Structure 1
Amino acid sequence: MKQFLLAFSAIVLMFSCVKNEENKQVTIKESDYFNVRTEGVQTGGIQLIPIETPIGKFKVWTKRFGNNPKQKVLLLHGGPGSTHEYFECFESFLPKEGIEFIYYDQLGSTYSDQPTDTSLWTIERFVEEVEQVRTALGLTKGNFFLLGHSWGGILAMEYALKYQDNLKGLIISNMMSSCIDYDKYAEEVLAKQMPASAVDSIRMLEAKGDFGNPKYMDILMTHFYPKHVCRMPVEQWADPMNRGLSKTNQQIYVIMQGPSEFGISGRLEKWDRKNDLKNIKVPTLIIGGTHDTMDPKHMEWMAKEVQNGSFLLCPNGSHMSMYDDQQTYMQGVINFIKQVQ
């Protein structure tokens, strides 16, 4: 599903209005939004950005969609190690509102360089990568919105805690502020919603480290993923989501997250920023789903802990609320971006 939303090019649409420094109205028209802003050979908005790491230089893949001088949203995908592709549903919503957004495959993900040195897979290094991407794309305090989903939400929180002076707004989508609390929620709430025999089988296979056993994923796909990851029949999962998740870099995913979404057992296992949320001062939207893998009550609490927060609950949504409660999710994101001046 790659919808580039040019169907409405036959008519002149008026997009959202934003304020410039003189407090005058700046109207984004379709001709402005789709205007090519670079010279030479065109690449469809794709830019390979060189980044510095402790072990050398690499390149990461980005793709800009649209133009808006005041509303630029950098999307941080989950995984860790997934791809930008499951965000393609944004193309059906943000362009008609005149909101510019940027796809970005983090280092190690499919469209970016894929080094294998495991020392690279740390939160701290990923934060510095995001900052280098921001600088290369020319994103500033006056226009830079950061949206992080799942693992991307962890990365977005960490980025804000270090570099929030560069942000205009922050969106944390379907992610708690503590992996410790998430593990507790998975054990005490989510596991109890599954048949005891299924939980016992998962625990037995995990204890053996037998994650490659087809039975392991079969149990998750039957009793967990369709209820808490995406509440749609598996055979109806959207193509962008299937592509993005199927290309996950397993080295990164297992090292940082662990082998499944049913709890965290990798380097992120002890990650906890609950006590630091109070230091986030930029306008912040927290999004959660009623049926999420993440505790919606915890995410609602997060919105009260940050200095300028709001909470969006997707009542029919799970971890991929941008698909299974799409209208609620997208309208909430759009409303938040438009309200931040």
Structure 2
Amino acid sequence: MNNRYYYSLCTALLLTQACTSQQENITDRPTQATAAYLDSSGREDEFSGGARMITISTPKGDYKVWTKRVGNNPRMKVLLLHGGPGGTHEAFECFDSYLPKEGIEYYYYDQLGSHYSDQPNDTSLWNTQRFVEEVEQVRQALGLDENNFYLLGHSWGGILAMEYALQHQDKMKGMIISNMMSSVPAYNAYAEEVLGPQMPPEVLAEVKQIEAKGDFSNPRYMELLLPNFYTKHALRMPVEQWPDPVNRMFNHMNQTVYVQMQGPSEFGIRGNASLKNWDRSGDLPKIKIPTLTIGGEHDTMDPKHMEWMAGQVQNGTYLYCPEGSHMAMYDDQKRYFNGLVNFIKDVDNAQPKN
């Protein structure tokens, strides 16, 4: 081979490799939007990776609640209200697989009494209005406002979101009520008339017998409910396949808060539970902000009622999850998050840009 030709060929190959390598490096770099989303420079919570304890005032003194921010977006910020009452943010951890790639900022938050926050023993703190006041203090501390603040409440969190919106919707950009009805009496009727009869008669009879005795600590109660109720209406997969975040949430449930407000039964809210008569169905037309309701076909809550709710608020949308149960964010996950992301972005696109 001619030496001159050989050297020219080598030079061309080296230049090609260098260009290819440079092109790959450019391609691998985060986009400007991604870089901005991941940049926590100058944020109060930069040192702790987004985690932050917020001091709240209550009639019984000051306490701290745990929050954690994920991402940066000045126009789309979602505060997550977990279920229970007395549950934790952990069940929401699947949001990490969907919201960051859409550039949506969101906040995990354990309400007072929940695992990552202070857990005072004073039972007078466990009432809906006190929780509403807590959410308002958290909102202020996080700097959320009507230009960016979306509130997502799941199950009990949905009750809390509705109560908050009825008092503070002027500070909100949008609301998502996930898997929660607007009336506990209507929920009780659905559990009694629809969900109960779906169980084998002999199982339902034994469950009712245990409940009539108030023997809720009997291992047989959960032995009956797990295969005949939970895996059909709470999370539709075998218990041994339940995701780790869900198991941790259940393990960390504050039973004192849960039983006081929700009661010990899994068939509705009864007994001395403080939420037994809660009903905001007649107040839904007062809600003006864009609102998404989410219901699953196999939910513990009536999906038709949740569709009806979307028609009662002034600017409502309904997301139906045909494969979903009460935790549709897991058992109808892609449909759930596609609908959630579209709602948030539609509301954002409808708002005039500054």
The normalised TM-score by structure 1 is 0.92
Assess, with a 3 A threshold, how the Cα gap between structure 1 residues 39 and 166 changes in structure 2: closer, same or farther.
closer
Asked whether 1:289 is paired with 2:306, we answer: no
| SS of the residue 1:282 aligns to | coil
Aligned to 1:170: 175
Deviations 1:81-107 (A, max 9, x none): 010001000000000000000000000
What is the CA deviation profile of residues 61-116 of structure 1, one whole-angstrom value per residue up to 9, with x for unaligned ones? 00000000000000000000010001000000000000000000000000000001
Give the whole-Å Cα distance in 2 for the aligned partners of 1:281 and 1:163.
11
Tell me what 1:325 maps to: 332
In 1, Cα distance between equivalents of 2:229 and 2:302: 15
Given candidates 57, 79, 91, the residue that maps to 2:96 is: 91
Is the alpha carbon distance of 1:45 and 1:208 closer, same or farther for their aligned partners in structure 2, counting shifts above 3 Å?
same
- Change in 2 beyond 3 A, CA 1:209/1:95: same
Secondary structure of the structure 1 residue equivalent to 2:164: helix
C-alpha distance in 2 between matches for 1:12 and 1:233: 41
2:57 corresponds to which of 32, 35, 52 = 52
The answer for the alignment partner of 1:205 in structure 2 is: 210
Deviation at 1:54, TM superposition (A): 0.7
Preserved CA contact (<8 Å) 1:179 1:272: yes
Pairing partner for 1:30 from 2, 16, 34:
34
- Alignment partner, residue 11 of structure 1: 28
1:83 aligned partner, one-letter code: T
- 1:12 offset after TM fit, Å? 4.5
Q: What 5-or-longer segments of structure 1 have no aligned partner?
A: 1-8, 15-27
Match among 105, 119, 125 for residue 120 of structure 1: 125
Mark the structure with the bigger radius of gyration: 2
* Compared CA separation, residues 40 and 172, structure 1 to 2 (3 A): closer
Query: Is 2:131 the counterpart of 1:131?
Result: no
TM-score of the aligned structures, taking structure 2 as reference length: 0.88
Q: Does 1:220 align with 2:237?
A: no
Which of residues 336, 345, 348 in structure 2 aligns to 1:338?
345
Q: Does structure 2 retain, via aligned residues, the 8 Å contact 1:85–1:243? A: yes
**Structure-2 separation of matches of 1:311 and 1:93:** 20
Which residue pairs with 1:149 in the alignment? Answer: 154
Distance 2:232 2:213 in 1: 26
1:40 Cα deviation after fit: 8.6
Q: 190-199 vs 247-256, which deviates more?
A: 190-199
Deviation beyond 2 Å, 4+ runs, structure 1: 9-14, 37-41
Question: Using the alignment, how far apart are the partners of 2:254 and 2:222 within structure 1?
Answer: 17
What is residue 67 of structure 1 aligned with on the other side? 72
Equivalent of 2:277 in 259, 270, 278: 270
Q: How far, CA to CA, are the matches of 2:201 and 2:79 in structure 1?
A: 41
1:148 deviates by: 0.1
- In structure 2, the CA distance between the partners of 1:283 and 1:210, relative to structure 1 (3 Å rule), is same
Give the aligned length.
320
The Cα of 1:180 is off from its aligned counterpart by 0.4
**Which segment is superposed worse, 55-64 or 198-207?**
198-207
Structure number with the higher helix fraction is: 2
Displacement, 1:13?
A: 5.2
Deviation at 1:202, TM superposition (A): 1.4
